[in-house]
Chains A and B, each alone.
Chain A
Amino acid sequence: MARAATTTDAFNAVAEPRRRQILDVLAEGERPVNDLVQVLGLAQPQVSKHLRVLREVGLVDVREEGRQRLYRLNGRPLKPIHDWVKGYEESWNERFEALDDVLDELKLEENGDGDDGE
């Protein structure tokens, strides 16, 4: 089955772990590509390729300063993703909190038995 391109929108752009890593680094401030190459331990062409994808979906902005191109994070496109996934995540949180309560009880039963099944 053919997979859709992973670069069409911000949702997919952040599905790639390396690109999330780039966003994490840029969250600390504006950086030239060489800094990213060093922090990520990737070759420059790979970093540039990820940066291109991030720029295409608006997650990263670039400006020229002298001979350097400085990249910075633009968090706005992330907001809808956050909101979108958050509702789903919240429903699992609810469910898992109820599961925690069940597990607490199972643990008590096991410990209270005086029989560890050994």
Chain B
Amino acid sequence: MATMASRHTAVVTLPTDTQILITRDFAAPRHLVYKAWTTPELVKRWWAGQRGTMKTVDIDLRVGGKWRYVMDTNGGFEIAFHGEYREIVPNERIVNTEVFEMPGASDSDAALNRVTFTEADGRTSLALLVETPSKEVRDAIIESGMEGGMQEHMDLLEEVAISLL
């Protein structure tokens, strides 16, 4: 059964001063979205988008388990994030903390991410609610998205995907 490779769009809203909500639909059942979200070798293939490559993806998927992602950016520097899993309902929901590792950042700056996967008709709606400790942290996270190099389009990744078929 061939599915049209339709292009979807992420929607970002700011429900309160300290929250960011990111929603997106995927043309795949939720157990696959969950798998791609939680399997290190798969996360390595999408998490950096086109902004770099993933150097490290450590996932200890259990309550109290830690995660850490390190990306080599196209700009030649590394950025790293880490956190801890707080709640895991396989294929349904993951709650974890997230800290952007930079000088002066501490775990008290951690955001709490709640990602939910909802399936209907073989498609999955993903909602990622980011709860930050303050409006300042929330705003800093939004601004971090503007730094990345997003000039080029998805040609490279599409080529890679086609070569894997």
A91/B148 in contact, CB under 8 A: yes
| Distance, CA A28 to CA B10, complexed state (A) | 25
- Our pick among A88, A94, A108 for the contact of B146 (Cβ within 8 Å) is A88
Interface check B62, CB cutoff 8 A: no
B28/A4 in contact, CB under 8 A: no
Interface check B135, CB cutoff 8 A: yes
CB contact under 8 A between A98 and B157, given known A93-B10, A103-B33: yes
A6 to chain B, nearest CB (A): 6
Chain B contacts of A104 at CB under 8 A? 3, 5, 28, 161
A-B contact count (CB 8 A): 122
Size bracket, chain B contacts: 35 or more
Interface check B67, CB cutoff 8 A: no
Size bracket, chain A contacts: 20 to 34
Interface check A27, CB cutoff 8 A: no
A residues lining the B interface (CB < 8 Å): 3-4, 6, 11-12, 15, 84-85, 87-108, 110-111
B residues lining the A interface (CB < 8 Å): 1, 3, 5, 7-18, 20, 22, 24, 26-28, 32-33, 35-36, 42, 45-51, 135, 141-146, 148, 150, 154, 157-158, 160-161, 164-165
